[in-house]
Amino acid sequence: NAGVTQTPKFQVLKTGQSMTLQCAQDMNHEYMSWYRQDPGMGLRLIHYSVGAGITDQGEVPNGYNVSRSTTEDFPLRLLSAAPSQTSVYFCASSYGGSLLEQYFGPGTRLTVT
Amino acid sequence: QQQVKQSPQSLIVQKGGISIINCAYENTAFDYFPWYQQFPGKGPALLIAIRPDVSEKKEGRFTISFNKSAKQFSLHIMDSQPGDSATYFCAARAAGFNKFYFGSGTKLNVKP
């Protein structure tokens, strides 16, 4: 059981470039979420999904897109990177229903110059 | 505006002492209150959680105290150890959704 995996671990982008952060889980979890972590701000929800084909916005969705075509994968797309998107990104998953424990991946540290 | 307010930002405690971290919220629709522990370079991991129908929950050295009327909850770490040195986040979930709101985090340093 690999749990929640994220790739890449580190990434440097130039302003205006696009990229996709990958997230996969092998626990058959229905719920998956993307967070960004910034100093002094805690974790803020970007987008989340309650199942394949269903996504919704979180607190800070602007500049990011998601899709969920399978239960296992939940990629996060940066459409046109900006320095304000420099952050550590975490993917999390949970069973849903009454089982609310979220399992977090190891994170992707993104720098936009 | 932050939905969950956490304090203090940092905390230094001697080994064997009690660490206390506090959180407050306004939204009465929150129905689940977890605490996460994060070590440098790692993702957060669930430490302990409580629902609002319970005033206290204890797991080993970790206790959550919950005050529904004051809309506050706190984490107590008894007999704090250097291995507890980490960043702690409180969080709250909006009922009926899977949206979690996190506090800003507390960096705990337990001195030997």
Residue-wise pLDDT for A29-58, tens only, equals 999 999 999 988 899 999 999 999 999 999
Closest chain B CA to residue A91: B43
B51 near B31, Cβ under 8 Å?
yes
Query: What tokens appear for B1 in the block?
Result: 């505006």
Q: Is B79 within 8 Å of B61 (Cβ atoms)?
A: yes
**What pLDDT sits at residue B2?**
78
Residues in a beta bridge with A91:
A34
pLDDT tens digits, chain B, 112 residues: what are they?
779 999 999 999 999 999 999 999 999 899 999 999 999 999 999 999 999 999 999 999 999 999 999 999 999 999 999 999 999 999 999 877 778 999 999 999 999 9
8 A C-beta contact, residue A21 and residue A30: no
- B81: helix, coil or strand? coil
Rounded alpha-carbon distances, angstroms, from residue A48 to A75, B55, B72: 11, 30, 26
Residue A30 distance to chain B (closest CA, Å): 11
Distance, in Å, from the CA atom of A74 to the CA atom of A100, rounded to the nearest integer, reads 18
Q: How confident is the model at residue A1 (pLDDT cuts 50, 70, 90)?
A: confident
By three-state DSSP, how is residue B16 classified?
Answer: coil
User: Mapping DSSP to helix (H, G, I), strand (E, B) and coil, where does residue A85 land?
Assistant: helix
Residue A73 has what pLDDT?
Answer: 97
Instruction: Tell me which residues of chain A have a C-beta less than 8 Å from any C-beta of chain B.
Output: 4, 31, 33, 35, 40-45, 48, 50, 58-59, 90, 92, 94, 96, 100-102, 104-107
CB atoms within 10 A of CB B29: 11
Task: State the pLDDT at residue A107.
Answer: 97
B9: contact with A, CB 8 A cutoff: yes
